[in-house]
Every structure is written in C-alpha cells, then in structure tokens.
C-alpha cells in the first residue's frame, strides 16, 4: 500500500510511505470571540464581552460587535489508517482535547464466518454511548446536538 498526503490540494512529502495518523490541531490559546468589525479578541465576562485593549469602541465610536471565532470549538481533526485492522478512522475533538468523536469504516475479514465476510461496516458515535466524548441529543436521523444545549443569548460588549 502506498499513500499520498495532500494539503490544500498539493501533495506533501512524507517521512513514511503510509503514515498511520494525520492530525490538524488548532491553537488552544485562540480566543472564542472577536469583534465582527475590527477583529479584536474579546473575552467573555458575566456582563458581556471585554476587549483585549480595554477600549470598548472600535470605529466611529461604535461598540465592538462580538461574534464567535470560526472553528474555536475544535481542538483537532485527525485521520488514522490501520492496515492490520483494515480500517480508516476520522476523529474530531470538540471537548476534552484528550478525546474525540470517532467515525470509522472497516472491512470485516473475508475469512470471517457469516454473511458479512468482506463487507464494509461503519461505526459512528451515538447517544448514551459509554464514556462519550460529549453528550449527544438526536435532532433527526444522522444529526445530533453536541454537548449541553445553551440558550442563544444576545451578545453585547461590556463598556
Ligand atoms: Zn471592534
């Protein structure tokens, strides 16, 4: 087996012909909120949001307009291949960075007794799973709410 790793469509030289795991990690220090207008990082407080600079205004004496930083919910995303298990796993970590939701597809060995010999099976996270990465609540088939449901609140910036 030989594999090629592509990053944004361009092949990347590998130290190993078949790497077992490729991971994209996001900086833990990145903030969760920023100003939609000027991009300044905003810290969430009990009364709203506090800008790093301490200046509650950005342009034209307007208050900063808080928005969530895209992908700030993701710790890492990884693809693992297991030749001996004939399986590929995609894992996304959104909670405790030591764990992840894992989606795996593997082939049942040809020499297995039964009708499923040689078939591909997919394993996915599910609600009430023992030791879950985070709780899941079904919204509809194949779609789950991840973690505890939070009431959407109006975002303001503390002055
Ligand atoms: Zn701003």
In this structure, the number of other CB atoms found within 10 A of the CB of residue 66 comes to 21
Cα of 52 to ligand 1 centre, how many Å? 11
Cα of 54 to ligand 1 centre, how many Å? 11
C-alpha distances out from residue 135 to 36, 55, 147, 157, Å = 30, 38, 5, 30
- Assess whether pLDDT exceeds 50 at residue 107: yes
Nearest to 105 by CA among 94, 91, 126: 91
Cα of 42 to ligand 1 centre, how many Å? 9
- Least-confidence region, from 126-130, 140-144, 145-149: 145-149
Cα of 93 to ligand 1 centre, how many Å? 30
Q: Which residue has the tokens 């503390």?
A: 158
- Assess whether pLDDT exceeds 60 at residue 147: yes
Tokens of 75: 């710790």
H or E element: which one contains 24? Answer: strand 21-25
Cα of 31 to ligand 1 centre, how many Å? 14
Of the pLDDT bands very low, low, confident and very high (cuts 50, 70, 90), residue 140 is very high
- What per-residue confidence (pLDDT) applies to 154? 47
Cα of 45 to ligand 1 centre, how many Å? 16
Cα of 119 to ligand 1 centre, how many Å? 54
- Least-confidence region, from 39-43, 91-95, 117-121: 39-43
Cα of 60 to ligand 1 centre, how many Å? 10
Rounded Cα distance, 156 and 44, in Å: 10
Strand partners, 89: 80, 104
pLDDT digits (tens, 9 = 90+) for 33-58: 999 988 889 988 898 888 888 888 88
Phi, psi of 76, deg, nearest 5: -165, 160
C-alpha distances out from residue 60 to 37, 41, 63, 158, Å = 11, 18, 9, 17
pLDDT digits (tens, 9 = 90+) for 16-37: 777 889 999 987 655 789 999 8
């Amino acid at each position: 087996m030989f594999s090629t790793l592509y990053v944004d469509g361009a092949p990347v030289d590998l130290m190993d012909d078949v790497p077992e795991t490729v991971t994209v990690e996001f900086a833990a220090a990145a903030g969760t909120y920023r100003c939609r207008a000027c991009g300044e990082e905003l810290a969430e407080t009990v009364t709203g949001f506090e800008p790093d600079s301490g200046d509650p205004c950005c342009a034209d004496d307007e208050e900063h307009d808080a928005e969530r930083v895209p992908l700030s919910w993701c710790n890492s995303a990884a693809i693992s291949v297991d030749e001996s298990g004939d399986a590929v796993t995609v894992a996304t970590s959104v909670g405790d960075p030591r764990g992840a939701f894992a989606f795996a597809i593997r082939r049942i060995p040809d020499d297995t007794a039964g009708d499923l010999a040689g078939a591909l099976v997919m394993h996915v996270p599910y609600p009430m799973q023992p030791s879950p990465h985070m709780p899941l609540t079904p919204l509809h088939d194949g779609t789950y709410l991840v973690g505890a449901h939070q009431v959407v609140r109006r975002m303001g910036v503390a002055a």
